[in-house]
Structure 1
Amino acid sequence: MNWETNTVQNLKVCAASKQKALQGLDNTTSGGMGAIDTLLKLVTKLETFGISHESVEKLKDSLHVINQFLKFEYKLHLNKLDGFTDHCTTYALSDPSIPGFSSSCEHQHDANYDKCSLVDNVLDLITTELSKVQVNESVQDDIDFDLNSATKNLLEWKRHLLRTVHQDAARNDILKNLTPNQSLIIMDWAMKFFPVQFRETQSEFFGKKGLSWHISCSVTRSASSDELDLNCYIHILENGTQGCPGGRYGVDCENSCPQNCHGPCDLQHENCLFGCLDGWLDQKCATACRDGTFGGNCLRKCSANCISDPCNHVTGECERCTNGWKGFNCTTECSKGKFGLDCSESCDGCIESTCDRFNGECVDNSGCKPGYENGRYCNKTCSTGKYGLDCSESCDGCIESKCDRLNGDCFYSYGCKPGYEYGRYCNRTTPKCDKGKFGLYCNESCDGCIESICNRCDGVCIDSSGCKPGYEYGPYCNKTCMNWHFGTNCTKICYCLNNPCEKNSGICSDGGCKKGWHGQSCDEECSKGTFGLDCSESCDGCIESACDRFNGECVDSSGCKPGYEHGPYCNKNTQMSLPASSGTAIRGGISAAIMIIIIKIFEVNYVI
């Protein structure tokens, strides 16, 4: 059994089936289908720009008709003798400027075909409608780019279909004129044996691993029978690839393609076969877009609203936007109430929050919203204690004078300042209080203030130079002296015997002082020579009458005055009180004493 028999049997068992997954879809066809999708998106946007819904739906329907026509019908109408220019392959493929590529037709091109004309007509209509749109420059650039790219790809798809039909016709001509000594050899990769479940372009399909078929066919003409002989050779590569795997090149696929290639690269020279990823140029896709451009083939311009640095050369993203713009590429105007760089500032104080989106100046210059001071920008809010139009009203009755700057509603809802009746706004004052009184119902006193004069609302002393005696200094003079203190600012101390003194006058109520003190307020130390309670005791026996004022102990402990027994207090007098008798008795007594002393002296000397 030869190889031809085996091949025929295999083909009978594995009969060809309808291709559903279009694996290996060529790039031109893929680009044309993508162009239809892009045009549908642009047409959908027209309705947001004011074009009627009916007109938009009509254009959508026409695009769907064009898509189906180019996919299934257009190739059936193409031939060399058609009277419609788009169907006549001779006319369409001729170039009058190059004799070698120029042919003339022997028929007139006066026929018309609605569906073929529909392609050009719809493109013209979409272009006309989009030209009426009033948008900023950056948005218009995006629209123009999408429209031009889609138009180019759609027309290229149509040309590709025409070339395909002409190519098939040319192959038939070659076979018809083939001589016995000639051979037509066709070599190509067949589709992968295993189907896929999604569409792939050639660039995506190229180099994928799988069961690849490489087919070589030779067509010859028999000299005896004038029939064509077909010999095909099939090479099945298990787990092989068509060329190098994606992203590799070289004799043994040992090198990596440039990272910015859109698909595979040339197996020998590293050049990117299907162009570059967005943002890159040249054959090896190693050159970034020049400043101010980005995207596929660097054909798109950066938004003029990017601030300082150029946009990202791949995506077109701006780092920051100039005044009045926001968004990924700074093509979106600031929304109402916003302005400035990246639309990051607010003009909430302007009437209806409407301001110039570039500098924030209010459109309505008649005034500002309540809660803002009048000005060109209405950007200064009311200070604490102020609210309303132009911040002209006060909320002094609110606690800490804090209120809603729009309507004056008090921030703290649990009460009002003294002197104001309780309510949401604390804006009604209570009746005027008598001297020395203050508070909501004038039931609090400010007796510590000089002349008892204070603010009737909060009790702050009018005279801030000090307070009455018996009170500590402070704005309210409402803190009395601590026990045992009295006088101005409570700086004096009293040493009353049992109970504290009066805090304003310092008078001791029990009439006595502790040891070492005397006086009306018991704040005077004992004078020299006195000590004890109320300084009522004397220390006359101490030298110079100097003693401790608390317990009477002599300061000079070396001795006592004459007539006092030596001791810590020198409080014992040595002179005794004698009866008033005759002088002779006294003298006799003295003489006897002298004699005794003399005798004692002699006794001492004798002993020695």
Structure 2
Amino acid sequence: MCMPGNDTCNQTGPNGQCCEHYRWNKTTRECTLCPQGYTGETCDAKCPYPTYGVACQSVCACQRMLCNVVTGCPVTDGCQTPGRYGQKCDLTCPSTCQEQRCHIVDGSCSGCIAGWAGDFCNKTCKAGWFGSNCSENCSDNCIDQLCDNRHGNCTRGCLAGWMGRNCTRECPLGLFGANCKQWCSPHCAFNDTCDKTNGSCPRGCQYPFKGSNCDFRVMLQKADSVSSDNDIQYAYIGVIVVLATLNMSSCAVFIFRRRRCLDEEQKPSSVYITYPTQQTIMTDDTNVYLELHATTNDDSNHNRSSLSST
């Protein structure tokens, strides 16, 4: 095989066999180089984009539509002042053209600076895109996936768990939240580090802390303990008051009964007096009371006489 630059290649027969970018010349019976910008066995095919020039060995750095297979990308060559184009070099290339280079005839850009797109680089990047010719995506970690169209910096900050201008760095150990601005709780069980997005402890909390982040309920836990101690104290006081009341009631009953017994002992004996029986006899005119003392007295005397004789 021959290399580009040789005039002749391996020839086998009248038709011969030429290297790429060369063709067989029947008149001279030798391989000759294709014209600039062309290739193929008969040199009738244009250099594929982005190549151009002799043997298609040069590469265009501009858009396909601006790449000339013979001369490559258009420049302002011919105008003494850079950034100018037109027949009289009196027109200015768009400021958004890369290196401020544009086609010398129509002023189209050979490339755009970051944040711009289009033949004349007059279109800003759509939301979610940035960079030269708007060819790069904003980071998925940007809030709402929005970034500035030139450098890709997240305009609304980072999602929880990420940090950096482009939100491409994860939170370091011990930090969490949006832009990694919050510290993990030191009370995670087993000294675990918290979740980088919400700060939660993966295996719970150290005693006596509670809550998903093991920190916001610390004061509530202490308050519950104090309240519980107070409840126990109040219960003890209540029991003491009840026992004291029962004791005082028992003493009062005992004193009352004791006094009653003393009063009974000091009370004088009862004296029974027998009064003579009276009988009332009703008459028509007046009430006449017949005393029966005589009969009673006679019976008493009789009983006494019997006792004496005995």
TM-score (norm 1): 0.25
Structure having greater relative contact order (Cα 8 Å, sep ≥ 6): 2
Name the larger-Rg structure. Answer: 2
